Structure formats: C-alpha cells, structure tokens
Amino acid sequence: MFQKGSIVWGLVVLIIGTPLAIGIASYLFIPLLLFSIVTLIIWGVASLFGVHTSFGNIWDWLWFAVKVLIVGGMAFFGVSEFIRSIKQKRIFNFFKKNWFYFLIFLFLFWLFFINVNKNSTEVPQSDSNQATQIEPMNSSELDKFSAVLAKEELLTDSDLENIRSALKSYTDRTGNYLTQNDVDGFTGLIKQSNDYQYELGQSLLFSWDQQKIYTTSGFDKLYKEMQDANYRKSGVLQFNKNRLKQAAEHQSYSEDEDGNKYEFSREVILQGIDKISVARKNMDKIVSVFDEFVK
C-alpha cells in the first residue's frame, strides 16, 4: 500500500495488522507445527513404499483434506440445524441466530475453493506480453541449426560457425538475446539425456565384462531422475533394465516391449558409448557458442 501511495491505509495496516498478524501466528504455531510433522511422517512412509512424490504435494493434499473437513463440517451442522428448525417451526429464529455463521461459511468456501481456482488459472499479463514478443527463427536460421544438430560426428569449427551465424542473424534481426534460462532450458534436458545414455552404456559394458548386472552410481541417479520426471516412458526404462540382464548373460540380441529385436554384443555396446560420447562433446561445443549470445 505504501508503494501505491496510500500512506494512510499503509499506516492503518501497519498499526492494526501487525499485532493481529502476530497474534494469529502465535495462535496457529502449534497446529501448523503438528500439521508439518504429520505431513513429514506421511511423506516418509510414502517414500518407503516406493511412492515418489514431494513434501509439497503431501502438504497440499492434506491441507485440501482439512479444508474439505472444515467446510463440510460447517455444512453438515448447518443443514442439521436447519432441518431441526423446520421440524420445530422456528425457521426465522434459525436465520436470525446463524446469519453470521452463514457468511463465514460462504467466505471460507470462496477462500478455500473459488478464489484458489481463479488464481491458479490466471496468467500474469506481463508474462503473456513477453511471450508474444518472442519472434521465431526464420527458415534460413532454422536450416543452419537443423543441419548442425542432425550431425552424429564430432562438430567442426565450420559447424559451430553456422550456429554462431544463425544466432547473430537472429539477434541482429530481432534484437532479442539469449538469457541463461533460455540456454539451460534448451540444453538441460538434452545434456541429461546424453548423460543417462552414457552411464547406461558404461553399465552395460561392466555387466558384459563381469557377467553379472552392474550399474554405475551415475546411472542409478539419472535413472531415478528420468523415472520421477517421466522423461522416459516406463517401457523404455524397463527395456534398458532388461538390457543389463541380457548383457550379463551375453545374449546376442535385445528385445523391446513391442517385440522388436536388436543386435546385441560387446561391440554394439562400445559403438553406442562412442556415439553418445560424441553427442556429449557436441553439446558442450554448442553451449559454448550459445554463451556468447547470453545477456
């Protein structure tokens, strides 16, 4: 309110609202503490049983249940009292006695459900304006990008110059430069996927050589990340798990969930590792060019 120039209302909020907020905080401290402990316990139990979710999700679900119980309880007792009033023919007294509680019920219902849904569906005007200001690359710029990204061999200086030329053309034409978030958003998932494939290849090679299933710590970590974030279909992840067993048993082929068979050998594993190693090096080079246009 001070920022909007309303000094009087700002002082009112400061003088009246501050002690009120302190009083509410002290009154709700113990309930919120207990609520947090219960949420933490449920989250821990869920994790033990293999349910991958966040503490925030558990908190939101429990808080939603509390809101339903509060509003539902008020509605239940209100309806019960209203029915009793009808039977006793004192409807007027019912409204006269409970009008304030009826307003509280409407306010809580609006606060807990209607207002939350409204806020969740609103899109900030500034964000939508920014989204409309972003111009796409033209066909020439896209062609340069696509040609480089499609290459499976190690990128040359000429390839990097094509990316640099496309970015320079785009920034000169539109005046829009990259942000670090843009770079991270574009390269983050690709780099994570490349790292996952590399660690999978290492795990396959170790499993083949040791004739037993072996996974690297990097693979275990990235596998869980892929699983939790749904970056890979469950069938694909299971196929990768099966390949570890097939590598340990020196099988000559691997088979996916659709019944498609693929040649499988130590040489195939090494070829896959070499291929993904090139992809990782290429992505590092591409990121270095992107960084030149970050502002």
**Structure confidence at residue 244 as a pLDDT band (50, 70, 90):** very high
* Contact predicate 295/177, CB 8 Å: yes
Predicted pLDDT at 274: 93
In 3D space, the residue among 245, 244, 243, 265 whose CA is nearest the CA of residue 255 turns out to be 243
Q: What is the largest CA-CA distance in the chain?
A: 91
Query: Quick check: 209 pLDDT over 90?
Result: yes
Q: Which residue has the higher pLDDT, 152 or 48?
A: 152
Predicted pLDDT at 43: 73
Q: For residue range 63-72, what is the model confidence (pLDDT) as tens digits? A: 888 888 888 8
Q: For residue range 13-66, what is the model confidence (pLDDT) as tens digits? A: 555 555 655 655 566 667 777 777 887 788 777 767 666 666 677 778 888 888
Q: For residue range 178-192, what is the model confidence (pLDDT) as tens digits? A: 888 878 877 888 888
Mean pLDDT of the chain: 79
* Contact predicate 190/254, CB 8 Å: no
Lowest mean pLDDT among 94-103, 137-146, 212-221: 94-103
Query: Quick check: 156 pLDDT over 80?
Result: yes
In 3D space, the residue among 218, 194, 214 whose CA is nearest the CA of residue 204 turns out to be 214
**Structure confidence at residue 111 as a pLDDT band (50, 70, 90):** confident
Sequence ranges of the domains in the chain: 7-128, 177-291
Rounded CA-CA distance 123/127 in Å is 7
Q: Which residue has the higher pLDDT, 233 or 204?
A: 204
Mean pLDDT of the 200-219 span = 94
Rg (alpha carbons) of the chain, rounded to whole number? 30
The Cα angle at residue 159 between residues 182 and 140, in degrees rounded to 5? 70
Lowest mean pLDDT among 53-57, 148-152, 165-169, 239-243: 53-57
